[in-house]
Structure 1
């Protein structure tokens, strides 16, 4: 089911005084993103808690992004049917990927909110009337999903130990943040290992989708009226309550980048490592190339003894040509 993904040391062209950067490759999960961890765990727990209803269970998702693909992939692995409602803005390439996993895709609404409401208020209600047991998979805001994502931390600590690196050397974990699902999973994992107080999380967002940064500045959760970023996978109008409270409790660091910063990093990473990721993943990778941002965020000097783990969250719906199309006009 869930793969133990590689944790690889990367130089990123740094000088010898920079921290040691490791990248966790979640693009190698079955659905090509970290989303598979939490969603497959969620479905597995639903099956084990209500085995008598398994024959009537059907998976329902409203994401036209990586969560929808993860729901379809996980449902297929459990031999379950899956319906995914996506908004009209969903890329044809992603619809085809979801359908390839055996899911039924319905297109409805102008945005995720419209698609989600239609799924819950119409499609799932009709399913109940037919005697089915709808299993609703939220893209990010569910404790079981965070529990599944938390296995990333288990793996990171094990893999560092296998390289004789003590957990005390782990100076920080960098992750991209949209609605806070991955962030919440990392918090859960650190808490389980007693490291939440000592290992800071650096949350990276893009301008136009920086709901965590705005919430932390406001001292309360805010909701974005408009999402405007090329990193569409980070485009959540709100932040999960647990993510917000955890960021405040543990003093998580917030970094906000421009669209061009993440796109240029994603292109550079593709050129150097022959791996194409989405801009949402490029947001975290950007700090691998620019460790000074990490040091500034942590308010301390970093040395090669300090380990910074960058979670390359993945994503499978981007081409090199599309990344190039994001270049500002006139830029070579």
Structure 2
């Protein structure tokens, strides 16, 4: 069973009109449960079920948890999602709406993840939010759809959190023989674990996540993300929270779609005409989505970031 949809690929006239480049959008914000996560997580859950799993366990207070909960409901499987204490009431409400059992534990995702491991029984499958080849294989379908549409971009812009989307997109580019299409991997200041790993030459753990883009809030990026950067042209960009939040508001006005600051990070590169875009004629931005932010929350964050 395929749990994700083929999402629209469209040119953004609003973004293209800002310069002399054609900016195209892959609208994965329109996926069930609001983000690209269902591509890889849906694939992983279907594989685990075929192998005999009788329950899914995950650790995420955000989009990954929602994707596991959605997949479990569609596949008729019980789901337990362990979330940290910082998880918003809205996120917990969305998880329960999908039928998941929500367990609150710890002050960070790392603590929630450790506790989730203790819940695993012999017939349970653990679904990691980003570090699993099954997820990368599923996320790669995003590029398959772009290739099927016969649109080859000069560069792909995406947001990086734990590195799952980056790993999947690079897998998709490689298997479609688009080895010459670079990836611009965007993070916000205070959540730039991929940028830090590239600088160090190996994954490093950030002391804390200080960005409002909590969906990018993996203190340590997966090893596969660094492997992708060694095997494919990947360029790391870091933007401010304010730029990401402003992009969310502009995108809502331009395209009537609300996304999280994590997605706004990638969009801000196009809205702000980042120098890294110079030399590319056709740019593809992955609109990865996000379901837990509200416009009021985004505006409150933006006001705070503007005063900082």
TM-score scaled by length of structure 1: 0.88
Q: Max radius of gyration: which structure?
A: 1
1:102-113 correspondence runs (5 A): 102-113=99-110
Corresponding residue for residue 243 of structure 1 = 225
How far is 1:7 from its partner? 0.7
Note if 1:212 corresponds to 2:194: yes
Name structure 1 gaps, 5 residues minimum: none
**Structure 1 position 251, deviation (Å):** 2.9
Equivalents in 2 of 1:144, 1:13: separation in Å? 33
CA gap of 1:17–1:86, structure 2 versus 1, over 3 A, is closer
Over 3 Å counting, the alpha-carbon distance change for 1:277 and 1:191 in structure 2 is same
Q: Which runs of 5+ in 2 are unaligned?
A: none
1:193 aligns to what? 176
Deviates more, 1:39-48 or 1:229-238: 39-48
Q: Is 1:318 aligned to residue 293 of structure 2?
A: yes
CA contact (8 A) 1:19 1:291 kept: no
1:30 to 29, 32, 39: 32
| Alpha-carbon distance in structure 2 between the residues aligned to 1:154 and 1:13 | 24
Does structure 1 residue 183 correspond to structure 2 residue 166? yes
Q: Which residue of 1 aligns with 2:256?
A: 274
The match for 2:58 is 61
Shift of 1:13: 5.0
Distance in 2, Cα, partners of 1:294 & 1:138: 32
Distance of 2:14 and 2:102 partners within structure 1: 40
Structure 2 Cα separation of the partners of residues 226 and 330 of structure 1: 18
Report the Cα distance in structure 2 between the residues aligned to 1:330 and 1:30, rounded to whole angstroms. Answer: 30
CA distance in 2, matches of 1:149, 1:330: 32
Q: In 1, are the aligned partners of 2:29 and 2:290 still within 8 Å (CA)?
A: yes
Are residue 115 (structure 1) and residue 98 (structure 2) matched? no
Matches within 5 A, 1:143-162: 143-159=133-149, 161=150
- What secondary structure sits across from 1:212 in the alignment? helix
- In structure 2, do the counterparts of structure 1 residues 58 and 13 end up closer, same or farther at CA, with 3 Å as the change threshold? closer
Alpha-carbon offset, residue 330 of structure 1: 9.8
Query: 2:45 maps to which residue?
Result: 43
Deviation at 1:5, TM superposition (A): 0.4
Aligned partner of 1:232 in structure 2 is 214
Q: What secondary structure is seen at the aligned counterpart in 1 of 2:289?
A: coil
Distance in 2 between residues matched to 1:97 and 1:220, nearest whole Å: 36
Shift of residue 14, structure 1, vs aligned partner: 4.4
Under a length normalisation based on structure 2, what TM-score does the superposition of the two structures give? 0.94
CA RMSD of aligned residues (A): 1.7
Q: What CA deviation, in whole Å up to 9, does each residue of 1:222-263 have, x standing for no partner?
A: 111111101000000111111111113323111100110101
**Per-residue Cα deviation, 1:190-226 (whole angstroms, up to 9, x for no partner):** 111111x301010000000111111111222211111
Contact kept in structure 1, 2:14 and 2:254, CA below 8 Å = no
Alignment coverage as a number of residue pairs: 305
**Matched residue, 1:223:** 205
